[in-house]
Amino acid sequence: MPHILLFLHITFFITAITISYGPLLLLRLAYRTGEVANIRGLALVHSRLGPVTFVMYMLGGIFGGLTALAFGFDLLAPWLVIAYVAFVIAVLTGVTENRIWPLRLAEAVKRTPDGPLTAEIRDLFMNRRTLSVLAIDIAWVPVMIFDMVIKPFS
């Protein structure tokens, strides 16, 4: 049973990461074309993925907790405490910054005719806050994988 829980933990997180970062990568590539039409469909789809992504991350976290219990891990082991903190920070970022950005982008491309990118759309992709959150958010994935595999301080 512990291995099934571990499988579900990993599967839900891989699904959540794919749903989170796949459309974002495609949006960044579409942005590079400089055309609103290339962004519009992706932005509309990405803006609707928030609730699904949230559920996948929550299920990953729940199955992670169940896995730790099933394997008999010390729930206060340093690597698990790191995982808890990183997970909470990632969830907070997800339900705030990462939820708002796709909604703003979808609204901007809905009201913008086909053609070159407007200043508003360019700013949504390139403002300092967006790029900072993106960098931190992307760094989260290898940090979490490192923590789960290496189990530092344990």
pTM of the model: 0.89
In eight-state DSSP terms, residue 49 is -
The pLDDT tens digits for 18-67 are 999 999 999 999 999 999 999 999 999 999 999 999 999 999 999 999 99
Query: Which residues, at least 6 apart from 112, have a Cβ–Cβ distance to it below 8 Å?
Result: 36, 118, 120, 121
The pLDDT confidence band at residue 97, using thresholds 50, 70 and 90, is confident
User: For residues 120 and 58, is the Cβ–Cβ distance under 8 A?
Assistant: no
